[in-house]
Amino acid sequence: MKGFRQMKVVWVITMVAALAFFASISTVVAAGKTATDLVNEAKEKVCEVSAADAKGKIDSDTSLIILDVREPDEFGKGHIPKAINIPRGLLEFKVTNEIPNKDANILVYCKTGGRSCLACSTLVTMGYKNAKSIAGGWTDWLKAGYPVE
């Protein structure tokens, strides 16, 4: 009888521990990061410049690379003059062929600045030293009345 009670206690403790373990896993999964969380983390790692500062850099630095990370259909509807298009989802696979110089000065933009911050964070991780995101992206560029193609 005493052995049966000990086995029952061990079984109860095991079940409580298993339930606690699975509850903690579901809490971690449920508490995953949102897109906004990821963008905010990226903004802590990268430098953002205003549309006005971007325009100044474009006008003064002929070697500057302008990288549009929007989708091709967005790019086709209009973009900053001389921009190259590498969609955010393909960046890691295409950027080293398109921009082999990791010391290049790169201005990155998207529609509003979220994807470009994520892209800049990726570029930094890949070893690019001078990538900056245009805060407000294409939206702020248009509001300022700057040239488009």
Q: Measured between alpha carbons, how far is 40 from 95 in angstroms, rounded to an integer?
A: 23
For residues 117 and 42, is the Cβ–Cβ distance under 8 A? yes
138: tokens are 């294409």
Residue where the block lists tokens 């549309």: 51
Q: Alpha carbon 53 to chain centroid distance?
A: 21
Nearest to 121 by CA among 48, 61, 16: 48
Q: Which of 47, 110, 117, 120 is catalytic?
A: 110
Q: Is 120 a catalytic residue?
A: no
Catalytic sites, residue numbers: 110
